[in-house]
Chain A
Amino acid sequence: MKTRTGPIVEVRNIYKSYRRGTQTVPVLEDITFDIQEGEFLALMGPSGSGKSTLLNLIAGIDKADSGTITVGGIEITSLSETELAGWRATNVGFIFQFYNLIPVLTAFENVELPLLLTGLSRSGRREHVDLALKAVSLSDRADHYPSQLSGGQQQRVAIARAIITDPTILVADEPTGDLDRHSAEEILDLMERLVHELGKTVIMVTHDPRAAGKAHIIKHLEKGVLNSDVHSEDTL
């Protein structure tokens, strides 16, 4: 496990707006907060409150209008698109609501995909993928295509893909939004295990108070403004 002092994510005075025709629509206003290493943070808020936008900014897939974001000591707001792509490949694991697996690739190949950007040999990649699939209890489904897996299984494959490069942070956008209650529980338990057993830092956007209840800290966004922190025990 990496040892660091200070927060793993530092968000400082972030502003973000979108242009809709001639109008400028503010999405995030003066957002500042920290996330400590090994923390499980949930971002909640109504639709359009800017939580997914904030997640995208932290994950380096969108650019802020102003402000800085530092992840693992790297100020990602100053990186170019190409640098950001390289940074994402090794520092961020993504888990999406609709799993976003490549349909023509098997579970094994989907998990292997991020490793193509590393210098790992074929046997090295195989070893990593086997371990990741084992971690999500899907070793027996390695040769299955996404269409042959249930929603919960697909999301577990997506989690295996997210952790395969041992990233600094894991970002999850409504990871249980497309799952039934039982599968959602399984996924949340798996994410909890990633935090507790592997020391991963997880940032999760969710509408579901039950999912947010698994987090250490819950942050609420309202019309692009961050409200005070709530500890998960208080919400349940």
Chain B
Amino acid sequence: MFILKILFKNAFRHKLRTSLTVLGITIAVLAFGLLRTVVGAWYAGVEASSATRLVTRNAVSLVFFLPISYKEKIRQVPGVTEVGYSDWFGGVYKDEKNFFPNFATDAKTAIDLFPEFIIPADQKTAFLRDRKGAVVGRKTAERFGWKLGDIVTLKGTIFPGNWEFVIRGIYRGAQKSTDETQFFFHWSYLNESLKKTAPYRADKVGWFLIGVKSPDVAPDVAVTIDKMFKNSLAETITETEKAFQLSFISMTEAIVVVIRLVSFIVIVIIMAVMANTMAMTVRERTGEYAIMKTLGFGGWHISGLIFGESLVIAAIGCASGIALTFPAAKAFGDSLSQFFPVFIVARSTIYMDMAAGLIVATVAAVFPIWRAITLRIADGLRRIG
């Protein structure tokens, strides 16, 4: 208790300096936490992917289509429970800045394959019955103020024209990490139109989404599907949903690396600031440490006092930074929900914040401790007065 009292009193002896250092640590931990959360948000799709879902796409590139006729062949592969399909629609609502992901999809199987999208039964039925019906995520519906029954027009960028949809369902995510920004509608609606306007693009899909019995059979199923379409006009690549999501992220990997790097640089900078604070503190108290040594306090005692003080300052800054990370992440996530549909501060981020605080406290205390314990008492006493 006595020692704890000394630590706190010492830490706040120079109130302005300590407050500024605490503020610096708070901002650094906040920045570190937010940047880590951005990286986490980047990988949210990967994290949310299911081990029992496979994706089959054109082996050349995702921009090339696959014939719808592949569906039944894939359905016959042992281990496959369900086959759905989708197209990236790329529609724009009023203005390009109003981005949200939208897909033309095989409605029935899409609903079955994505149990994490929770749609009330009556809305599900209404959606399946209405050819122009669409289901939208809660966040996107709230963002544009859409309600059930609203008619929404999207301007096609890949499929030209104005496309009219009726909101028949609004889904909620089963977990916090579920993307609630998607918009999907009947592929048949798109296909019928294409048959009239661009027949060469009709009866083709962007990718097949395949449900398998268990994660164990997924590798065999993938190999069998790809073998089945080898040497065909549209060869396939079948991979897990996770690998499929990762292939998107690999395109922007450099950005993720930079964000990660910046997050660590922030910690290194605050480490230098904190080390400077501790160095000044110990230099000012050289005489006191000499007195304590004179009274019989050894190197371990002095080290404990300096490290404890460093830890107190870092812990206060770190705790404040962590506490602020949650509201900051909420505000950040809300304002950028179109880019980061899932923006959640992960538990691992908090652990990393704490570890960063501990490392900052330790590194900042090393040099001052070394100076204090190697100080000759007679030299220290000479500095008093």
A interface vs B, CB < 8 Å? 53, 56, 59, 61-62, 82, 85-90, 94, 96-98, 100, 102-105, 109, 112-114, 116-117, 161
Q: What are 17 pairs between A and B in contact, CB < 8 Å?
A: A53-B378, A56-B381, A62-B377, A85-B298, A88-B294, A89-B297, A98-B384, A100-B291, A102-B288, A102-B292, A103-B13, A104-B6, A109-B2, A114-B296, A116-B2, A116-B3, A161-B295
In the complex, whether B10 has a CB less than 8 A from a CB of chain A is yes
3 closest Cβ pairs, A-B complex: A89-B296, A104-B9, A61-B377
In the complex, whether B385 has a CB less than 8 A from a CB of chain A is yes
Of A56, A89, A100, which one neighbours B384 at CB under 8 angstroms?
A: A100
Residues on A with beta carbons closer than 8 Å to the beta carbon of B378 = 53, 56, 61-62
How many residue pairs at the A-B interface have CB separations less than 8 Å? 67
In the complex, whether B15 has a CB less than 8 A from a CB of chain A is no
Residues on A with beta carbons closer than 8 Å to the beta carbon of B288 = 100, 102
Most buried by A among B13, B291, B296, B376: B296
Determine chain A's interface SS by DSSP, over half rule: helix
Determine chain B's interface SS by DSSP, over half rule: helix
Rounded to whole Å, the gap between the CB of A159 and the closest CB of chain B is 14
B interface vs A, CB < 8 Å? 2-3, 5-6, 9-10, 13, 287-288, 291-299, 376-378, 381, 384-385
The complex places the Cα of A82 from the Cα of B299 at a distance, in Å, of 8
Q: Closest A-chain residue to B373, C-beta based?
A: A81
The complex places the Cα of A90 from the Cα of B291 at a distance, in Å, of 15
The complex places the Cα of A113 from the Cα of B296 at a distance, in Å, of 10
The complex places the Cα of A97 from the Cα of B296 at a distance, in Å, of 19
The complex places the Cα of A33 from the Cα of B5 at a distance, in Å, of 44
Most buried by B among A86, A97, A104: A104
Most buried by A among B3, B5, B13, B377: B377
Pairwise interchain contact A104-B296, C-beta atoms closer than 8 A:
no
Residues on B with beta carbons closer than 8 Å to the beta carbon of A89 = 295-297
The complex places the Cα of A59 from the Cα of B293 at a distance, in Å, of 12
The complex places the Cα of A61 from the Cα of B376 at a distance, in Å, of 8
Of B5, B294, B385, which one neighbours A61 at CB under 8 angstroms?
A: B294
The complex places the Cα of A82 from the Cα of B293 at a distance, in Å, of 10
Residues on A with beta carbons closer than 8 Å to the beta carbon of B287 = 100
Pairwise interchain contact B384-A117, C-beta atoms closer than 8 A:
no
The complex places the Cα of A88 from the Cα of B385 at a distance, in Å, of 23
Of B295, B299, B384, which one neighbours A88 at CB under 8 angstroms?
A: B295
The complex places the Cα of A91 from the Cα of B253 at a distance, in Å, of 66
Rounded to whole Å, the gap between the CB of A155 and the closest CB of chain B is 14
Of A56, A88, A105, which one neighbours B6 at CB under 8 angstroms?
A: A105
Q: Closest B-chain residue to A158, C-beta based?
A: B291
Rounded to whole Å, the gap between the CB of A111 and the closest CB of chain B is 11
Pairwise interchain contact B294-A117, C-beta atoms closer than 8 A:
no
Of A53, A85, A100, which one neighbours B296 at CB under 8 angstroms?
A: A85
Residues on A with beta carbons closer than 8 Å to the beta carbon of B298 = 82, 85-86
The complex places the Cα of A116 from the Cα of B2 at a distance, in Å, of 9
Residues on A with beta carbons closer than 8 Å to the beta carbon of B10 = 104
Residues on B with beta carbons closer than 8 Å to the beta carbon of A97 = 385
The complex places the Cα of A99 from the Cα of B78 at a distance, in Å, of 89
The complex places the Cα of A117 from the Cα of B293 at a distance, in Å, of 11
Pairwise interchain contact B295-A94, C-beta atoms closer than 8 A:
yes
Residues on B with beta carbons closer than 8 Å to the beta carbon of A85 = 293, 296-298
The complex places the Cα of A53 from the Cα of B293 at a distance, in Å, of 17
Rounded to whole Å, the gap between the CB of A73 and the closest CB of chain B is 19
Q: Closest B-chain residue to A109, C-beta based?
A: B2
The complex places the Cα of A87 from the Cα of B6 at a distance, in Å, of 24
Residues on A with beta carbons closer than 8 Å to the beta carbon of B292 = 102, 113
The complex places the Cα of A39 from the Cα of B296 at a distance, in Å, of 24
Q: Closest A-chain residue to B296, C-beta based?
A: A89
A sample of 5 more A-B contacts (CB under 8 A), given A102-B288, A104-B10, is A56-B377, A88-B295, A98-B384, A100-B291, A102-B292
The complex places the Cα of A122 from the Cα of B231 at a distance, in Å, of 86
Residues on B with beta carbons closer than 8 Å to the beta carbon of A100 = 287-288, 291, 381, 384
Residues on A with beta carbons closer than 8 Å to the beta carbon of B3 = 116
The complex places the Cα of A116 from the Cα of B294 at a distance, in Å, of 14
The complex places the Cα of A149 from the Cα of B377 at a distance, in Å, of 26
Residues on A with beta carbons closer than 8 Å to the beta carbon of B6 = 102, 104-105
The complex places the Cα of A157 from the Cα of B28 at a distance, in Å, of 44
